[in-house]
Chains A and B, each alone.
Chain A
Amino acid sequence: MKLRFNRSQLCIPYALFLILFVIAPLLVIIYYAFSNGQGKFTFDNFIGFFSSTNTLGTLLYSFALAIVTTLLCLFIAYPTAYFLARSGFKKQYVLLMLFILPMWINFTLRITALKEVLTLLEGNISLHPFLNSVIGMTYDFLPFMILPLYTSFLKLDKNLLEAAADLGANKFIVFLRVTLPLSIPGIISGITMVLLPSMTNYVVLDMLYNSTYIMGSLIGSYFSAYDWNNGSMISLVLLVIIFIVTLVTNRFGDKDSDARRTVL
């Protein structure tokens, strides 16, 4: 008997994985989020989340941290990726390698090293917890911003730039009207890859001695305090936020420019 599989059968391993490690845990989270310690259905956790000034403060703090990190990443990554994609062929891969290289080392090790560097620069690192956290997260997530931007710049058709220049646009206008709009898919995917993880990456904060909780540490502290219901509710709220953000951004992509052409 020949063993031949069709496509749907090849998907079975992944489907099993999905059911076991994504869907089942999600159901468990939903169950815990809407039940109390005795296993009875309740909305208390949900109401508790939005009525506690502490959780709202944490949400706000996480957003502030994540937004500042994302903006800083974008600010550094955009010109870097631009010049990386534009530079001569040979140098390009070496340069790209330099940015990807740190990703091969575990991030806790990198943050430990960063801690020493920051101590050297600032003296006492606990005096600037917010700044340090932003630096640590930026250090951690920068490659995730550079790579999508880099690929979107690589795909950029040079003929378009030349055409724009031929039609009399100066360099600034070319950038503003051609390069920037065409790199938006890269920006969006960079933002989603940095903004959401940096709301929960509390290990960086712990290691850099920021004693204020963000969403990730809040969930962790509820779970280690045996309070799985509130922990699950916060996870669920975070999940909904992530879901909304991806829903809004997921259709950005290559089709976008095509759509524009048909519209115009």
Chain B
Amino acid sequence: MKKFKKFVCIGAASLLLLSSLSLTACSGGQKEFVLRVASWEEYIDLGDWDDDELIEIDNPYDEEAGGVIGVNSMVEDFTDWFNSSDYGFDIRVEYSTFGTNEDLYNRLSLGDKYDLVCPSDYLIMKLLAEDELVAYSDEFLDAEADNNYYAQNVSPFIDGVFEENGWQNYAACYMWGTTGIIYNPETVSSDNAATWDILQNEKYNRRVTIKDNVRDSYFPALGILNKEELLSDGLTAERRNELLNDTDQDTVDAAERILKGIKENVYSFETDSGKADMITGKVAANYQWSGDGVYIMDEADGDENNPTELWYSVPDECTNLWFDGWVMLKDGIAGDKNKQIAAEAFVNFLSRPDNAIRNMYYIGYTSSIAGDMVYDYLDYNYGAVFNPDDEYFDDEMTEVCQYDLSYFFGGDVSLYVDASQLEIPDDAETISQTLGSEYGNDINYTVYTTDDISRGRQAFAQYPPQSVIARSVVMVDFGDRLHDINQMWINVRCLDIKDFNPAIVWTVVAVVVAITAAIILYRFRYKIFYRTPKEDK
């Protein structure tokens, strides 16, 4: 009985300790709603910008700032904004991050609860198919209502793609982009960078990198596999879509062979190290998402010791058009109306043009938000025609390209971009035009009016032209083929015993057997080699 008492004592003490801990954690949060948000690492403005990073454009949302600048983190700003608005309740945001879509999915299936997450297109499809998502409310989709920044500002292009795929009621696009090749034009010729073949081009043996995930490897492998048909005239969009979403076992096997060849040719399968390796010049070309491409080009330009001009190429065959979107999860929201209001407010706050610009500046990706203010930001970054009094003005630069962005902004919108920042075909049409009269200065520019651009620098990577969009494909979820394609990927990465040099196989086996035998012999040497001494009996 004494023992039992002690036991009870310990139990009671630990219970007390635990409950007091959990009490302190709960107290103060009685009327506060917690919004659990999960997004990619480094995918939102964390604030703390230097004063000289101020983006000098008209900002109707914050007149005093004189532009757009991130002082506090986006999440803090949202919490302040929400709690000072008349929603009738206060919230606190629990913001966590994930590294890959698979990581997020694994966490969700293990029972982690989030209200609002930002996965990529294919995971949105998977979650939608598994009936895990909460539809956005009608109020959210109403462009007339106040504070509905997403519905008011989202690009017609994004809206169209989302509607086409049936996501528009369940997902609100955050960032989007293409996939392509970042390359150093000094070591890689433009022709070589114009095709996915560069990944298996022996000229760049061990000097190209590829992403360490199955989807970003399978896509270029399909591009290589179907190169001829993809480049042929008269290829319809349906056929292109079909070719690049082909998951037949024969295709998967063929892709496996291609990827095994690529494995022998690349510098690394990287998840994040590719950025640094590209900037420091360890590799000459790098499979990349457009947003990270912008980041890499910015960093390489600004490298004090060794500034390098890197370019971004969208291969002529095809590119993977991808989207990351905010979706609300049934498990997290659990029918709570207030939670849904808070989650929708979060999306709307991020979609407010000044905040969209802050996030774009901070992470380098392309926001789904269009509208005048975002156009001003583009003009501020990439516009070639501006005030001659400005310190960055370059009067040598008289060749510009009229870069058509109508598809994204709607209507008839274009931007004059420095032509040296884009690879313009030799036979492109030019006109001579006087521009800049709004700045009180008339300069005669040679203006290229082509849309046929496949390589360029930041402007091109961030906002691809219509011609690139035309050969882009959304790579849908693999569905029930996922298992076989994952197995293909594992096969690529494993050494097949059949591919080994037999001499090595037998040597290793012999060494293992020899070591095991030696250990066993040593262990049981008394039983085997010595006679049992007679005295012992």
- Interface of A with B (CB < 8 Å)? 1, 3, 5, 9, 12, 53-58, 60-61, 63-64, 67, 119, 124, 126-127, 184, 207, 209, 211-213, 217-218, 221-227, 248-249, 251-252, 259, 263
Contact = CB atoms under 8 A, between A and B. Distances in A.
Contact of B530 (A67, A211, A263): A263
B497 interface: yes
B499 interface: yes
B282 interface: yes
B344 to A, nearest CB: 30
Closest 5 CB pairs of A and B: A57-B497, A209-B268, A225-B486, A54-B494, A57-B495
A127 B512 CA distance: 27
A67 B102 contact: no
A224 B490 CA distance: 11
Interface stretch (B86-94, B237-245, B519-527): B519-527
Contact of A57 (B103, B494, B509, B511): B494
A209 B505 contact: no
Contacts of B106: 223-224, 226
Most B CB contacts (10 A, CB to CB) among A60, A67, A227 go to A60
Contacts of B203: none
Interface in B159-214: 206-207, 214
Interface string B421-464: 00000000000000000000000000000000000000000000
Interface of B: 3, 5-6, 9-10, 100, 102-103, 105-106, 109, 206-207, 214, 263, 266-270, 273, 282, 482-483, 486, 489-491, 493-500, 504-505, 508-509, 511-512, 515-516, 519-520, 522-523, 526, 530, 533
B275 to A, nearest CB: 14
B9 A224 contact: no
B5 A61 contact: no
Nearest to A2: B6
Given A127-B206, A263-B533, A218 B6 contact: no
A5 B519 CA distance: 43
A126 B523 contact: no
A65 to B, nearest CB: 10
B105 A209 contact: no
Secondary structure type dominating chain A contacts: helix
Contact of B498 (A53, A218, A248): A53
Given A54-B497, A211-B266, 11 more contacts: A9-B6, A57-B495, A57-B499, A67-B511, A209-B268, A211-B268, A212-B495, A218-B494, A226-B105, A248-B519, A252-B523
B375 to A, nearest CB: 40
Nearest to B9: A3
B490 A222 contact: yes
Contact of B504 (A1, A64, A211, A222): A64
Most A CB contacts (10 A, CB to CB) among B214, B268, B490, B515 go to B490
A12 B11 CA distance: 12
Contact of A1 (B5, B102, B103, B496): B5
Given A60-B508, A126-B267, A225 B533 contact: no
Contacts of B270: 209
A227 B494 contact: no
A39 B340 CA distance: 35
B522 to A, nearest CB: 8
A67 B509 CA distance: 11
Given A53-B496, A225-B490, A248 B530 contact: no
Most B CB contacts (10 A, CB to CB) among A1, A211, A251, A259 go to A211
Most B CB contacts (10 A, CB to CB) among A54, A61, A67, A226 go to A54
B496 A57 contact: yes
Contact of B523 (A55, A67, A248): A248
Given A126-B267, A227-B483, A251-B523, A55 B494 contact: yes
A174 B195 CA distance: 68
B490 A218 contact: yes
Contacts of A224: 100, 102-103, 106
A100 B102 CA distance: 38
A133 to B, nearest CB: 13
Contacts of B266: 126, 211
A249 B524 CA distance: 11
Nearest to B533: A263
A67 B508 contact: yes
Contact of B495 (A12, A58, A223): A58
